[in-house]
Amino acid sequence: MKPEYAAHTPRDAKDPNSPWHELLEHLETVARDAALFASKFGASEIAHWAGMLHDAGKFSGAFQAYLWEAHVAKRDSKPQPEKGKAPHAMTGAVITRFFALNDELARGLELPWVIAAHHAGLKSKADLLDSIEEKSETALVQDGVQKAFSWKKLAILTQENFEFPQTHFQTKLEREFFVRMLLSCLVDADHLDTEAFGSPHKSKIRGEDKEPLETLLVKLKSAQLEKIAQAEQNEVNLIRTEVYYRALERASESKGFFRLSVPTGGGKTRSSLAFALQHAILHNLDRVIYVVPYLTITRQIAQDFSEVLGAENILESHSGVQHDPNEGETWTKLAAENWDGKIIVTTSVQFLEALFARKPSKLRKLHRISKAVIIFDEAQTLPAPLLTPIMDVLYHVVNTYDSSIVFCTATQPALDSGSGFPDLQSREIAPDPKRLFRNLERVKYQFSWEAWDWQRIANELSNHQQVLCVVNTRAHARAIFSALNDPEAIHLSTHLCGAHRQKQIERIQAKLEQKQPCRVISTQLIEAGIDLDFPVVYRAFAPLDSIVQAAGRCNRNMKLYPEKGLVVVFQPEQLGLPKGVYEAATHKTQNWLRKGIDLNAADTFHKYFTELHNATDTDAHKIQSLREDFDYPNVSQEFRVIEDDTKAVLVRQYAPEVIAAILSQPFNRQTMRKLQPYLVNVFKKQLEKLDRAALIRPCAEHPDLLEWVGKYDENLGILEEVNVEMTVM
């Protein structure tokens, strides 16, 4: 029997004994859980009220009639009533608006904001106030308000002296971010309780016990002891061991910002994990979040962590994650929605864009960054045009939300007050970085200032059995590969779909391990984090950190000791540099190198990045002023780690049977995630030209998706039969 007030229809509409989800129970449970989530940053009381009022609109007779209609339609196998027939989110927003102080900091608007947003997303301040004014007098909202006030738990709101709790934030930017954190707590609590009622099997999977951080640290220490015992006693391994033990030692320091400045190949990945686990345990933090710039490295790091700690303890959360369609619901699928795990490995795109998002689906996991250790791997890749808003939010993540952050890289960026950012007072984890960089000088650099044509580059590469050449654009990579005319050479760029690139990287690793001839021509996608070790690397002139990161693929494990690897930096005849910061940084690098800068000095990059940031607009999209105006839609639209000027195109030719199986399923976000490894991005401005040349067409199974119908080469990937250049990488 339907209760007077229900939140959701029964799980089994055809079973007359299947219970309804009672509204009062739902509100109290969501309030309890939202308060628990927000207690980590001192906002439990206001989160409690968000939970109590988020579905106040469901008290209205119109909404209850809509639920009954939906139930009957499902029971009788008839079409469902129109969604949104009885909207409910604005009722709670109207109730709480009456108590808002609404000063220039938007004080008091937190509750109406998050309640109005818990389905549709955050509005701008002006749109929020307009919506509340527009809806406040409607019969639907007024009916919901009156009936909600009749519930004894909400009757307190009618008392003249009642006030909702106020937060302590003193600036607009603090309050703007707090609204996101509060909405995250509400949305997660709401989804979890709705799921517990409607899909209890999912809740059971979510609740599966996972090993605590203490156990994971024991596993890591055991694996490292074994690795150290078996390792050859050379300079590299001695330094890796020293860095690892120093990381454990420094973990006892108070929470805050840290740097781990270790040369490429110095063991920073596991050392940073050791620091994070120990630090989290000592300071009662909940989880470790490992933020990685590129999908390829994300998979590599997640695999490494899984081998040591067990795959069941690693939550890999990014667009490239593939789930077996036959395995049903799993903890990793469900936990990716709200990051309820001990160790999360994710991409910088997913992490950073969540900090500035407006949609509930993206914000749901955000509250998990409170009381966490967050590691930014390859921190130099943080996008310069967005650094001001990024650093402002990260400052509050540490100082307000009780977390610690580690910037981990061989080319440490200047993220301090000297470059115009907040005074982070970051502390170095590594022992004496200057000494480490000197002791791990594994390469010698040669610079050629004359212009090289493609054939000269090809001839240079032909002189080496194992060599890597890194250039700045995909067109350059293709031109050199063609000039080399070596059937065994390997080409890497984003002209290849992700699955193809991964296969090529595995081929490279096998050739290097087996000491076979291995000549690779790649764009900069190979530079950071990928564990490859060449005796010789050629690098086209690029930003300083890109040159040194490419050099990190040379003599990585000091196999040539006591000799050094060779890194040749050359000037292509055709420059073709990506515009913007990349081009400006390349020219600045050339000026620095002509002056004889020492690329092996530990402090080189702080000076370089300070100068670069001072010459760059680090808030190029004016995110901070939009945030101060509480313009959530435009903040979300303007904050893009990767510029949204490309369109994904499906490459069916690479794996036709696999893709056919995926396309046979309903087309939704999960389907697109499964297709991710088989997509190539092309510039949107080129779509019309590609269409005229009959190189793309709508996918037959799902017309909203484009597919490539031109040639797909086993070495080069997409072959352009017209003069069309794709993305730079």
Beta bridge partners of 452: 572
Query: Contact, 114 vs 186, CB < 8 A?
Result: yes
What are the structural domains, with CATH classification, of the chain? 6-198 (no CATH), 213-434 (3.40.50.300), 442-599 (3.40.50.300), 646-718 (no CATH)
Q: Of 587, 612, 545, 586, nearest to 378 (Cα)?
A: 545
Task: Look at residue 258 and give its three-state secondary structure.
Answer: strand
Taking the CA atoms of the chain, what radius of gyration do you get in angstroms? 28
366: DSSP letter: G
Residue 453, CA atoms < 13 Å, CB-side half-sphere:
2
- In this predicted structure, the answer to whether residue 335 has a pLDDT above a threshold of 90 is no
Helix (H) or strand (E) holding 399: helix 387-399
Q: Of 361, 453, 428, nearest to 118 (Cα)?
A: 361
Q: What is the Cα–Cα distance from 314 to 344, expressed in whole angstroms?
A: 6
Phi first, then psi: give them for residue 720, nearest 5 degrees. Answer: -85, 120
pLDDT digits (tens, 9 = 90+) for 406-430: 999 888 888 877 667 888 889 999 9
In this structure, which amino acid lies at residue 247?
A
Q: Of 308, 395, 378, 382, nearest to 343 (Cα)?
A: 308
Residue 370, Cβ density class (10 Å: 0-12 exposed, 13-18 middle, ≥19 buried): buried
More confident position, 562 or 257: 257
Mean pLDDT computed over 194-206: 92
Task: Look at residue 519 and give its three-state secondary structure.
Answer: strand
Task: Look at residue 262 and give its three-state secondary structure.
Answer: coil
Residue 670: predicted pLDDT: 75
Q: What is the Cα–Cα distance from 411 to 379, expressed in whole angstroms?
A: 8
Residue 408: predicted pLDDT: 94
More confident position, 121 or 302: 121
More confident position, 330 or 493: 493
- In this predicted structure, the answer to whether residue 451 has a pLDDT above a threshold of 70 is yes
pLDDT digits (tens, 9 = 90+) for 531-549: 899 999 999 999 998 999 8
Residue 593, Cβ density class (10 Å: 0-12 exposed, 13-18 middle, ≥19 buried): middle
How is residue 53 written in tokens?
A: 């009022």
What are the residues whose beta carbons fall under 8 Å from the beta carbon of 129, sequence distance 6 or more?
A: 97
In this structure, which amino acid lies at residue 172?
K
664-668 contacts, C-beta under 8 A, 24 or more apart:
664/701, 665/325, 667/701, 667/702, 667/704, 667/705
Average pLDDT, the chain: 90
For the chain, the farthest-separated pair of C-alpha atoms sits apart, in whole angstroms, at 86
- In this predicted structure, the answer to whether residue 474 has a pLDDT above a threshold of 80 is yes
Residue 318: predicted pLDDT: 67
- In this predicted structure, the answer to whether residue 726 has a pLDDT above a threshold of 60 is no
Residue 164: predicted pLDDT: 86
Query: Contact, 373 vs 270, CB < 8 A?
Result: no
Residue 396: predicted pLDDT: 95
Mean pLDDT computed over 131-142: 92
Mean pLDDT computed over 562-581: 88
- In this predicted structure, the answer to whether residue 230 has a pLDDT above a threshold of 80 is yes
Q: What is the Cα–Cα distance from 651 to 712, expressed in whole angstroms?
A: 8
Q: Of 251, 215, 298, 180, nearest to 406 (Cα)?
A: 251
Mean pLDDT computed over 266-284: 96
Residue 720: predicted pLDDT: 64
What is the band of 325 on the pLDDT scale with cuts at 50, 70, 90?
Answer: low
More confident position, 402 or 209: 402
Residue 655: predicted pLDDT: 92
What is the band of 728 on the pLDDT scale with cuts at 50, 70, 90?
Answer: very low
The label of the residue with tokens 């002056």 reads: 595
In this structure, which amino acid lies at residue 663?
L
- In this predicted structure, the answer to whether residue 723 has a pLDDT above a threshold of 70 is no
Q: In what order do the strands lie in the sheet with 536-540?
A: 443-452, 565-572, 536-540, 466-470, 518-522, 490-492
Phi first, then psi: give them for residue 260, nearest 5 degrees. Answer: -125, 95
Task: Look at residue 483 and give its three-state secondary structure.
Answer: helix
Residue 111: predicted pLDDT: 95
Q: What is the Cα–Cα distance from 420 to 624, expressed in whole angstroms?
A: 14
More confident position, 196 or 558: 196
Residue 119: predicted pLDDT: 94
What is the band of 45 on the pLDDT scale with cuts at 50, 70, 90?
Answer: very high
Residue 208: predicted pLDDT: 78
Residue 143: predicted pLDDT: 94
What is the band of 297 on the pLDDT scale with cuts at 50, 70, 90?
Answer: confident
How is residue 718 written in tokens?
A: 């997409």
pTM: 0.89
Alpha helices in 558-622 (DSSP H): 581-594, 604-614
- In this predicted structure, the answer to whether residue 507 has a pLDDT above a threshold of 60 is yes
Task: Look at residue 243 and give its three-state secondary structure.
Answer: helix
Mean pLDDT computed over 263-284: 94
Mean pLDDT computed over 115-119: 96
